[in-house]
A and B are shown apart, each in its own frame.
Chain A
């Protein structure tokens, strides 16, 4: 990342903090405290399970909302406030600006997720459970959520390069839902027993981002060991796919008439 991109990234992070984006941490903390106190009284035998499931699901859902709704406004806000023109008048390429914006939001999500993970650990400690070696899988699941958010942010940024924030948000969420069901697309194609449809379904399966493999919440909650190969594969997949989307975003944004 260039120095110009890094400067944009740091400013994006500062702006998010100024906009009180991190206030969602209070909501998360209250959710964790509530769950830790109440779960033992309303259910049987799932104290730890529900804290991990709820904590990781909330980290994922809150992160998703942030990635989509902040992501779609990253470029739009700069155009709306006309700050983009003064920025692009400086020696910075449009692609560098986009990468900086992307990295800034990722930094925001990273800080946010780190604090939420600490709150989750505190809730687990509260329910009286000692930390064990298999808890590493919780951290791995959090890392996978971050990879998922990195992909969603890239998609949101891409759509925001050529459409309004509302439409971008809708398109990003649609891509996310499609990505969650991506394996079904392939299965539906196979069910038709028609080679053309099967081929189209398979192409679609590889085209849409696959979010399914990033979700390891259930396995982490049950204390399963998540294989290192999966960590490597998911990291590589997220990096590759996000790079493709960012390249496409740069191509679109570079050609966009900003007058």
Chain B
């Protein structure tokens, strides 16, 4: 046999394997395109029972919890911002992750953020978020951050200042809890709903988390709060203008000309505030900041 003939299988493999693999990849793409359109909401969670999955995991439950938490993050990330998106599988994914590993504090904390954010930024389910964090507290009674999160949900989302104050107070009794938890409890009891209190709560949460995505969301809320505070001050100035001149100003700049403001005020992203048809100050329509709900 000649050497060239002996090498024929080698050449065939060198050429054939990449070609056949590429063909298989292309075919898979076609199959994916067809099946993706057939994909239904809810398929993310085939087994909804956390205890059953814990048994089936054969002892690898903590790894499976990490996988389910990652799936929850991916699920949320793939839907965030889509106006028509639903988050039906988010709570089951979080429940499974936290049943498999009840000490997965990160899943309670950020899971509550995903669940409570209003649509389209989240599931808009404050009830489920509160349940999740309460379960987290039961499983991790010494984790003051969970009390901080629950207090925030009561305060910010549900406007339930009595429960918010009580939650901060309960969390403040944990030995490692920072002093601001006690301050929060007192301040909410005294001045629940004020912008100053809200800013303190958001700042406390911002300082207690390291995750960039959550910090970004909190920063967005802090900016919205600052804008709300600015517009309240501006409305007071508009009232002074009306008293002095007996009419509404045409623009914010007129307030500057009248000597009531040192310059045209801008929101935290640098967009100047405007006066609306209702005669009150508003965020600039071009500004990405959304007023707090």
Chain A: CB-nearest residue to B58: A180
A180→B106 contact, CB < 8 A: no
B110→A45 contact, CB < 8 A: yes
A222→B103 contact, CB < 8 A: yes
Chain A: CB-nearest residue to B210: A45
B106→A44 contact, CB < 8 A: yes
A43-B69, A218-B101 known; 10 new pairs, CB 8 Å cut-off, are A43-B73, A44-B211, A45-B110, A46-B66, A49-B62, A49-B66, A54-B63, A61-B60, A184-B55, A217-B62
Chain B 64-100 per-residue mask, 1 if CB under 8 angstroms from chain A, else 0? 0110011001100000000000000000000000000
Closest CB of chain A to B208's CB: distance in Å?
12
Q: How long is the Cα–Cα vector from A46 to B101 in the complex, in angstroms?
A: 12
A217→B60 contact, CB < 8 A: yes
Q: How long is the Cα–Cα vector from A45 to B103 in the complex, in angstroms?
A: 13
Interface residues of B (CB under 8 A from A): 55, 58-63, 65-66, 69-70, 73-74, 101, 103-104, 106, 109-110, 210-211, 213-214
B66→A50 contact, CB < 8 A: yes
Which A residues from 137 to 156 make CB contacts under 8 A with B? none
Q: How long is the Cα–Cα vector from A246 to B63 in the complex, in angstroms?
A: 32
A217→B74 contact, CB < 8 A: no
Q: Given A42, A180, A215, which contacts B73 in the complex, CB threshold below 8 Å? A: A42
Kindly name the residue among B61, B63, B69, B109 whose own CB sees the greatest number of chain A CB atoms within 10 A: B63
Task: List A contacts of B59 (CB < 8 A).
Answer: 60, 180, 211-212, 215, 217
B63→A43 contact, CB < 8 A: no
Asked if A217 meets B213 with Cβ closer than 8 Å, knowing A42-B73, A42-B74, A222-B103, the reply is: no
Chain B: CB-nearest residue to A218: B62
Chain A: CB-nearest residue to B103: A222
Closest CB of chain A to B83's CB: distance in Å?
24
Kindly name the residue among A54, A57, A61, A177 whose own CB sees the greatest number of chain B CB atoms within 10 A: A57
Q: Given B60, B74, B103, which contacts A57 in the complex, CB threshold below 8 Å? A: B60
Task: List A contacts of B210 (CB < 8 A).
Answer: 45
Task: List A contacts of B62 (CB < 8 A).
Answer: 49, 53, 57, 217-218, 221
